[in-house]
Amino acid sequence: MSADPGDGPEIGDLVEDGEGHRRVVTDILQGERVILRPATGPYRELHVDEPAVISVIARRGCWR
């Protein structure tokens, strides 16, 4: 299930970062900085200052 590409990421969404990795949004700071973690595997936080490079794959609750 894909989300509307015009919608920005929200906490809990499954997204694809600018390098093609699937990640989960864990926080959004002031609507500009997005914090991600890997969808699977060891936890390593990634901060993204440009949410436009993130593609929403599925909304929270719609993926496993």
First to last CA, the chain: 11
The upper half-sphere exposure of residue 60, i.e. CA atoms within 13 Å in the direction of its Cβ, equals 10
| pLDDT band per the 50, 70, 90 thresholds, residue 6 | low
Burial 53-63 (b: 16+ CB within 10 A, else e): ebebbbbeeee
What is the pLDDT at residue 36? 93
The answer to pTM > 0.75 is yes
Residues constituting the chain: 64
Q: What is the pLDDT of residues 25-57, one digit of tens each?
A: 999 998 788 999 998 888 888 898 888 889 999
Long-range contacts of 44-53 (CB under 8 A, 24+ apart): 46/17, 48/17, 48/18, 51/8, 51/9, 53/17, 53/18
